[in-house]
Structure 1
Amino acid sequence: MKHLIIYAHPNGTSLNSLFRQTVEKTLKQQNHEVMVRDLYQLGFDPVLSLEDMEGQRKGMVSEQVSREQEYITWADAITFIYPIWWTGMPAIMKGYIDRVFSYGFAYRYDQGIQKGLLTGKLAYIINSHGKSAAEYGETGMDNALKLTSDKGIYTYCGLNIRQHFFFDRADRATAEMASEWTSKIIDAYA
């Protein structure tokens, strides 16, 4: 199977980096083909420009966007790894979605009805956040996060979500917590 990892965290020693390394190692041990797109390391330009918007409707995208779309087309499964900052994804990941998951590539409208074009691909989402799961549950933020990302982006584009992890209290994670989380990640790819 061909797995694409789309990763967004600027700190190479972060918990999210540990998650990326765990996924990559697990998949390679299972003899899958793995490609990692580290958005910070790539210096991915997250700014959706007017030129981008006009080009998307004509099926014309920049070389940078075209390259990322080729990776997505190649993949059977995509893993998104990023922290939750200010109750959302980092700007670089949101910009990646804005630019790469473009009209005509990731979705289109047929007679006014939205159609996801990334069907047949599996998706795994791994998020960390600082608040506790209880705090997110009390405010409804847990459901809001799932609604805006899972429904509003991933399934909207036709992806089949296999697993969405929210690892809480990440800024206070102990070695035991990190070990438990990486075990859950490994199990998700079994």
Structure 2
Amino acid sequence: MNVLIVYAHPEPKSLNGALKDFAVKRLQAAGHAVQVSDLYAMNWKAALDENDSLDGKAGDRFEPSLDSKRAYQNGRQSEDIAREQEKLRWADTVILQFPLWWFSVPAIMKGWVERVYAYGFAYGVGEHSDKHWGDRYGQGSMAGKRAMLIVTTGGWESHYSPRGINGPIDDILFPIQHGILYYPGFDVLPPYVIYRIGRIDMARYAQITEELGQRLDDLFTTSPIAFRPQNAGAYSIPALTLKDDIAPALSGFAAHVA
């Protein structure tokens, strides 16, 4: 199988750097082909702007969605964007690996998403009608592929528990897993989260690599998170709200997981 690791950490000697190298070796040893987009090493341009099209802006002002659509449809995207899109087409599974900074991905990874997820490539696809509101949330260009997060954080696991001060980790990661990954069609596996990274000794590192190694070994057999597909009957269209008989006691993020 083909695995793409999109990696965002500026220090190669960090825990993240060691785990990225471990993941590559583990996957290759199992016979998988691996590519790594090391965003800091690539000096990835994070800002979405008119320069992402070889033709610049289409009109008097830059319109991100429409200019992205025009550049993608006409084969006029900047070369770095087109190259990353080709990696996504190639991949059977995508791993996003990053430290949790201010409750989200590092800015450079957010910029990778904003620029690579072009209109017509990752969104803005499929018919819009009274029964089908675009190919997204379970459908789309990434349908049939898998995705997983590898996340490190300095906080304790209890800080991210259901009653923890930072909020439940599943809620914090929901915009990434449900929005960035499930939206264009990925089957999203449960994340692998490493807590208290400032307190990791060799014994703890050995435990982490054992756990992560098992997750990588099971990459293609692990059951994905049971997000509700948008166009399968659970949501009213075009309002895109859950129907009254679907999880009536739930609201918020939890309602969108079966």
TM-score (norm 1): 0.93
In structure 1, what is the equivalent of residue 224 of structure 2? none
In structure 1, what is the equivalent of residue 104 of structure 2? 88
In structure 1, what is the equivalent of residue 145 of structure 2? 121
- Are the aligned partners of 2:152 and 2:194 in contact in 1 as well (CA < 8 Å)? yes
- Mark the structure with the bigger radius of gyration: 2
Gap runs ≥5 in structure 2: 53-63, 218-258
Higher relative contact order (CA 8 A, sep 6+): 1
Distance 1:32 1:179 in 2: 23
Amino acid paired to 1:136? Y
- Are the aligned partners of 2:160 and 2:168 in contact in 1 as well (CA < 8 Å)? yes
In structure 2, what is the equivalent of residue 77 of structure 1? 93
Residue 163 of structure 1 deviates from its aligned partner by 3.4
In structure 1, what is the equivalent of residue 159 of structure 2? 135
In 2 relative to 1, CA 28–91 (structure 1 residues): closer, same or farther, beyond 3 Å? same
Distance 1:7 1:76 in 2: 17
Residue 46 of structure 1 deviates from its aligned partner by 0.7
Residue of 171, 191, 201 corresponding to 1:144: 171
- Are the aligned partners of 1:82 and 1:90 in contact in 2 as well (CA < 8 Å)? yes
Residue 141 of structure 1 deviates from its aligned partner by 4.2
Identify the structure with the greater helix proportion.
1
Distance 2:17 2:134 in 1: 35
SS state of the match for residue 107, structure 1? coil
In 2 relative to 1, CA 124–143 (structure 1 residues): closer, same or farther, beyond 3 Å? closer
Residue 90 of structure 1 deviates from its aligned partner by 0.4
Residue 114 of structure 1 deviates from its aligned partner by 3.9
Distance 2:95 2:10 in 1: 17
Pair 1:17 & 2:17 matched: yes
Pair 1:186 & 2:213 matched: yes
TM-score (norm 2): 0.70
Gap runs ≥5 in structure 1: none
Q: Deviations over 1:112-136 (max 9, x none)?
A: 6242321111112100001111112
Identify the structure with the greater strand proportion.
1
SS state of the match for residue 40, structure 1? coil
Amino acid paired to 2:157? A
Pairwise CA RMSD of aligned residues?
A: 1.6
Residue of 154, 160, 168 corresponding to 2:181: 154
SS state of the match for residue 37, structure 2? strand
Distance 1:131 1:182 in 2: 19
- Are the aligned partners of 1:163 and 1:188 in contact in 2 as well (CA < 8 Å)? no
Residue 50 of structure 1 deviates from its aligned partner by 4.0
Which shows bigger deviation, 23-32 or 44-53? 44-53
Distance 1:87 1:114 in 2: 29
Which shows bigger deviation, 94-103 or 57-66? 57-66
Residue 175 of structure 1 deviates from its aligned partner by 1.8
Distance 1:70 1:165 in 2: 26
Q: Deviations over 1:25-77 (max 9, x none)?
A: 01110111111110010111010114542432222421110011011111111
Which shows bigger deviation, 114-123 or 52-61? 52-61
In 2 relative to 1, CA 65–173 (structure 1 residues): closer, same or farther, beyond 3 Å? same
In structure 1, what is the equivalent of residue 128 of structure 2? 111
In structure 2, what is the equivalent of residue 67 of structure 1? 83
Distance 2:25 2:116 in 1: 26
Point out 4+ residue stretches in structure 1 off by more than 3 angstroms. Answer: none
Pair 1:42 & 2:42 matched: yes
Which shows bigger deviation, 56-65 or 147-156? 56-65
